[in-house]
Chain A
């Protein structure tokens, strides 16, 4: 479904992603792992069209995304839940969700999507009239995921969904990720919490300072001694 080939990305003069290639097949959960500054978020931003690659190709169902405007990429079903949630703090929960259904393909199904999101996160239904800026961290993350689901994504990209959350909340978020995946949405997950990510992922790629260093099945990497030492702290 997603095929990234030979990607080079620069911030000004500084190259942060070097010759990166990876694939995500339909129905999979794939995770990109690596330390802070490994280039994971940059890769997601480049797929979404917020950044443009210096070299390389991003193919989504065989269509090249490198020159497609970011709003059209969203329209094709590629949704990102950005790091730090990035909600609209001065709008209510309901307004945040309704704007999630902004892409033309999702507008007609706004009501059904809203119901689905509320059944996934009942707390959002309770707080629908509250300003997004006043929610707790966990609720904000749920709203951010809910907002992305409102757009009826085919590929859902999550950037550090566990960041700054309590263990209980993280558990809930990851249950939802697996649930979403079971409903047929392909997931690309960026995480620093490697143990958690590997336990839900079909396949994983490990980045170091912008270079791809390992790839493999989730369970295989979880069992690998080198990976355990370097990324799992055991």
Chain B
């Protein structure tokens, strides 16, 4: 096995790691602010896939416009979900389990709505950039390079916004002490609304970037959601850095497993890794440190 092959496989691991990180950072943000697991998060991803498909092929938009359009569409659905389903359950008894059922219901509803509206035939879109680059004998498709680059840029922007902007600080304040945020004049319900919008947009971005490589279908979010949950817990729920680290870790572990053993067993290795990490560090790699 040549070293070039190993590097190539690590790079492929980074590509899936980037997608995992985009999904998991959304779940982590929602956990941080609302203290709930969002089981409909995979459907934001699915909607992003269909969104970019329709914007590209029916709307005739260039990728540079189609991807933001898909993100915007998913953000609107995320905000609707917050207002119609999650908001009425907030501050009521049973909050530790009620959002689970509510978002599971939303997930089933959205999946079957997509199935009904758009059919079960898998849909494909062309690469945003054709061709690839050959670096010291290592082949990398431009589309995959693009995925990693866009993810890095977006995550840097999101982290900077959380650290520096008034809105990001309000979100962190709500996550750290909600009552204190209310008493400082922060409309926490607006924070919840925008958090759902942002995380849905991030999930849609992940799908829009990956759609040229995999196909689009109503069930595409389910398997990825489970992976994203694993990544969150690996890194430490509520920790953004943890979500990114966990994503990269899971992605590279999977692709190295494919290289060294077999693609059928990569998921088993991923889950065993999860249980081992939790055994050694019950709070995940980055703990539940404030972010």
Contact = CB atoms under 8 A, between A and B. Distances in A.
Q: Do chains A and B touch in the complex (CB under 8 A)?
A: yes
B109 interface: no
Interface in B164-206: 166, 169-170, 172-173, 176-177, 179-188
Nearest to A98: B169
Given A86-B177, A87-B177, A151 B169 contact: no
A39 interface: no
Contacts of A103: 185
Contacts of B186: 71, 99, 102
A50 B188 CA distance: 12
Given A90-B289, A90-B291, A79 B169 contact: no
Given A91-B169, A99-B170, A82 B176 contact: no
Q: Which of A50, A90, A98 has the most CB of B within 10 A?
A: A90
Contacts of B290: 89-91, 133
Contacts of A71: 182, 185-188
Contact of B172 (A69, A91, A107): A91
Contact of A82 (B169, B180, B185, B291): B180
Contact of B169 (A75, A86, A99): A99
A88 interface: yes
A147 B169 contact: no
A86 B183 contact: yes
A74 to B, nearest CB: 3
Contacts of A82: 179-180, 183
A71 B189 CA distance: 10
Contacts of B173: 88, 91, 99
Q: Which of A88, A89, A91 has the most CB of B within 10 A?
A: A88
Q: Which of B177, B183, B289 has the most CB of A within 10 A?
A: B183
A209 to B, nearest CB: 24
A89 B170 contact: no
A70 interface: yes
Contacts of B289: 90
A48 interface: yes
Contacts of A69: 187
Given A50-B182, A147-B184, A102 B166 contact: yes
A95 interface: yes
A82 B186 CA distance: 15
Contacts of B184: 74, 99-100, 102, 147, 151
A74 B188 CA distance: 13
Contacts of A48: 182-183
Contact of A88 (B172, B182, B187): B172
A49 B176 CA distance: 20
Nearest to A73: B185
A49 B187 CA distance: 12
Contacts of B181: 88
Nearest to A88: B176
A48 B185 CA distance: 10
Contacts of A80: 183
B170 A88 contact: no
Contacts of A50: 179, 182-183
Given A99-B170, A100-B184, A147-B184, A88 B177 contact: yes
B183 A70 contact: yes
A95 B171 CA distance: 12
A87 B289 CA distance: 16
A106 B170 CA distance: 15
Given A86-B177, A87-B177, A89-B290, A79 B183 contact: yes
Contacts of B172: 88, 90-91
A127 to B, nearest CB: 18
A75 B166 CA distance: 16
Contacts of B166: 99, 102, 107
Interface in B251-291: 289-291
Contacts of B179: 50, 82, 86
A75 B177 CA distance: 19
A85 to B, nearest CB: 8
A102 B182 contact: no
Contacts of B185: 71, 74-75, 102-103, 151
Given A50-B182, A86-B179, A88-B177, 6 more contacts: A48-B182, A71-B185, A89-B176, A90-B290, A91-B173, A99-B186
11 contacts: A50-B182, A71-B186, A82-B179, A82-B180, A86-B183, A89-B177, A90-B289, A90-B291, A99-B169, A102-B186, A151-B184
Interface of A: 48-50, 69-71, 74-75, 79-80, 82, 86-91, 95, 98-100, 102-103, 107, 133, 147, 151
Top 5 A-B residue pairs of the complex, sorted by shortest distance between their CB atoms = A90-B290, A74-B185, A86-B180, A103-B185, A71-B187
